[in-house]
Amino acid sequence: MWAMDVTDIGLFRLAEQRLAWVDQRQQVLAQNISNADTPDYQPRDLLPFAQFIKRSAAARATRLAVTEPGHLAGRPPQPDFDIASRPTGRAPDGNAVSLQEQLTKVADTDTTQALVLNLYHTYLGMFRTAIDKG
């Protein structure tokens, strides 16, 4: 039986990258919410996914070759943080977290995750159907 690694297919690799970005964003947003009462706390967010992909592609293009077993391969690029530069408001203690804004971002991120998972499973099903029929 022939085994296929779907991570070698660009569409699935992109979906996995998007899911990893969504997971990281949910962690950042949760941290923002948990610090809603911390004096002088500034909310953070990730750079948009499209910018992350561009930076990932640039990093892959400039990655050093591993020509000896002892060479280090380096790390894959990590999502960059974007400090909220224009808070919508600030509490008297200097905290700039807007719970409404953070919860809206959490809902948007949750919707994105559901969409990407749905697409991933749909395309995986189509690949399985094509392979079984072949």
Q: What is the pLDDT of residues 39-78, one digit of tens each?
A: 999 999 998 888 888 877 665 555 566 677 776 666 555 5
The answer, yes or no, to whether residue 106 has pLDDT greater than 90, is yes
Q: Are 88 and 105 in contact (CB under 8 A)?
A: no
Reported as half-sphere exposure (CB side, CA atoms, 13 A), residue 18 has a value of 19
| Residue 90 maps to a domain | yes
Question: Is 1 within a domain?
Answer: no
**Average per-residue pLDDT in the chain?**
81
State the residue range of the domain holding 33. 6-133
The predicted model scores a pTM of 0.71
Structural domain count, the chain: 1
Arithmetic mean of pLDDT, 2-9? 61
List C-alpha distances in Å: 82 to 31, 43, 48, 78: 14, 9, 9, 13
Q: Which helix (H) or strand (E) holds 45?
A: strand 44-46
Q: How far, CA to CA in Å, does 103 sit from each of 61, 88, 96, 106?
A: 36, 14, 14, 5
Is the model's pLDDT at 104 over the cut of 90? Answer: yes
**Largest interatomic CA distance in the chain:** 66
Q: What percent of the chain has pLDDT over 90?
A: 40
Q: Report the SS3 class of residue 81.
A: strand
Asked if residue 93 is part of any domain, the answer here is yes
